[in-house]
Structure 1
Amino acid sequence: FGIASVLQRENQDLKVIAVDHNRSVIFGARATRISKMCRETSEQILAMGAGIPMGNVNFELCDEVHWVPVPKMVQMVHDFHRRTGMLVGPSSGAALAVAEWRA
């Protein structure tokens, strides 16, 4: 979250909303808790869903954390492509899912 701290210095009203794969432990969820929370898939997404906590994440900068299951990511990618014609990947699908939910 190096960029979050820089952006928050410029705009103190900025909200940092973290989005990750539903089987990730980066944001403090234990693997057993995640399995109970999200049983629908164990598929992995490249560049998302770490199996070990990261030491370089400053959790105090996160206003919200959302875990998104793979089927929802894929659904959002297809919906976005249908609406816009743009090609995006699953991590964008996760961000779109959270943005739509918050809207």
Structure 2
Amino acid sequence: MKKHNYSAGPCILPQEVFEKSAQAVLNFNQSGLSILEISHRSKDFVAVMEEARALALELLGLQGKGYQALFLHGGASLEFLMIPYNLMKVNGKAAYLDTGTWANS
């Protein structure tokens, strides 16, 4: 029986995702290079990102509604930072209260 991860963060993925990812790490699109070795500006990699953005919007029911999907690193800490930044963009000012562990990391 496969274990399940109910923690925050990474999730359980189907076996086929791991297999396809493993193949791309070894030889992406029969290029002789790993997806880790190709340029992030190459046509092959740009196509991967465009498909990922399109699928994310489709899954959320947002395609064709003027939204864009962004893939950012930083997790929850980045999200906590983005809220005041977005308020500053709208209102011209914002406040951020450092309440401890989660706010100052």
TM range (shorter): under 0.3
TM-score by length of 1: 0.23
Higher fraction of strand = 1
Instruction: Compare CA radii of gyration and give the structure with the larger one.
Output: 2
TM-score by length of 2: 0.22
User: RCO greater where, 1 or 2, for CA within 8 Å and sep 6 or more?
Assistant: 1
